[in-house]
Amino acid sequence: MSTSSVLYDHPGPRAKVRNAVLSVIFGVALLGLVYWIYTKFDQANQLEAWLWKPFAEPKTWTQFILPGLWATLKAAGVGMMLSLAFGIIFAVGRLSEHWWISVPAGAVVEFFRAVPLLLMIFFVFYGLPFLIQGPVPAFWAVVIGLTLYNGSVLAEAFRAGIRAVPGGQSEAAYAIGMRKSQVMGIVLIPQAARAMLPIIVSQLVVLLKDTALGYIVAYPELLARGVNDLSANYGNIIAAAIVMAVIYIIINSLLTAFAGWLDRRSARRAFRIPKQAGPVVMDSTAGTAGA
């Protein structure tokens, strides 16, 4: 039985008709909403050709959009790697049998999950310099804030995934002599990461979009450069926002497609049957008493 048949009941004839009717109704409603938005923008003269003309000029991309895109991808890439590491470390810490590890790890995760990301970035940039007696670059203020918040969310995702792995997996690993660190690193975490891949990808997409909060510390990311700075020069804030939204959609779609490819590749490797070196020869004298 396939996974889709387990998670989804195939509709009958009446359900198919009902779904088709609802699809048509919602499709017409969506088209009506799009047309209403178009008319409102057209009445406000936000669809004039001169507002979109700057996007056909190379300097718009080289001076505003591409530098902002690079800053966004750089902060998001570093934040993703650190968030994944943070999540794995604190997930394992929360699952520790020693209370002096699990309790502080749980307190850290719950604290940074509760603090708003915008406030966290603000504190790192403006408050941390008083503690370290030195300035914090805007890039690291954004990355640290993204790491602490998204890493805490991923820690809970990893912890749930590790707990979801059947107990027989760890019991079998302990039975063949593995240590707890080996059980976690070789048996539990890889399975948990694959099981929680949709949640992990969705959180990484959120992380990518959250880089836009870097405006609070004047970090020149895509939204700041492509909307604020660009519209300040050309007066086309709606057009700039639409173009930036399309860029964000493309990036997030590529990230989701990459995660899907990675999931399919890991599934093929997991179910690949290894080739045997040769036939197994049974010793006819095995199990018999020696003469």
Section 203-216 average pLDDT: 92
Given this model, what pLDDT does residue 231 score? 87
Mean pLDDT of the residues in the chain: 86
| Closest residue by Cα to residue 81 from 188, 154, 186, 163 | 154
User: What are the Cα distances from residue 118, in Å, to 17, 71, 192?
Assistant: 47, 18, 30
Given this model, what pLDDT does residue 269 score? 66
**Do 92 and 184 form a contact (C-beta atoms < 8 A)?**
yes
Q: Domain spanning 45-269: which superfamily?
A: MetI-like (1.10.3720.10)
Section 68-87 average pLDDT: 96
As a whole number of Å, the CA-based R_g of the chain is 26
**Do 163 and 94 form a contact (C-beta atoms < 8 A)?**
no
Tell me if the pTM is above 0.75.
yes
More confident residue, 225 or 275: 225
**Angle, to 10 degrees, between the axis of helix 99-114 and the axis of helix 66-94?**
150
Given this model, what pLDDT does residue 5 score? 44
**Do 220 and 68 form a contact (C-beta atoms < 8 A)?**
yes
Assigned token pair, 86: 């943070």
| Closest residue by Cα to residue 204 from 241, 150, 126 | 150
**What residues does each domain of the chain span?**
14-44, 45-269
Query: Could you tell me the pLDDT band of residue 284, with boundaries at 50, 70 and 90?
Result: very low
Section 192-211 average pLDDT: 88
Query: Could you tell me the pLDDT band of residue 38, with boundaries at 50, 70 and 90?
Result: confident
User: What are the Cα distances from residue 130, in Å, to 124, 214, 283?
Assistant: 10, 20, 75
| 288, pLDDT greater than 70 | no
Assigned token pair, 166: 């059947």
| pLDDT tens by residue, 99-112 | 999 999 999 999 99
**Do 73 and 247 form a contact (C-beta atoms < 8 A)?**
no
Given this model, what pLDDT does residue 2 score? 44
Phi, psi of 139, deg, nearest 5 = -60, -45
Given this model, what pLDDT does residue 171 score? 87
Instruction: Check residue 240 and give left, alpha or beta (phi > 0: left; psi -120 to 50: alpha).
Output: alpha
More confident residue, 45 or 68: 68
Instruction: Tell me how crowded residue 220 is: count the other CB atoms within 10 A of its CB.
Output: 19
**Do 146 and 84 form a contact (C-beta atoms < 8 A)?**
no
Cα–Cα dist 122/268, whole Å: 44
Section 7-20 average pLDDT: 77
**Do 132 and 70 form a contact (C-beta atoms < 8 A)?**
no
Section 196-205 average pLDDT: 87
| pLDDT tens by residue, 121-171 | 999 999 999 999 899 999 999 999 999 999 999 999 999 888 888 888 888
Given this model, what pLDDT does residue 207 score? 95
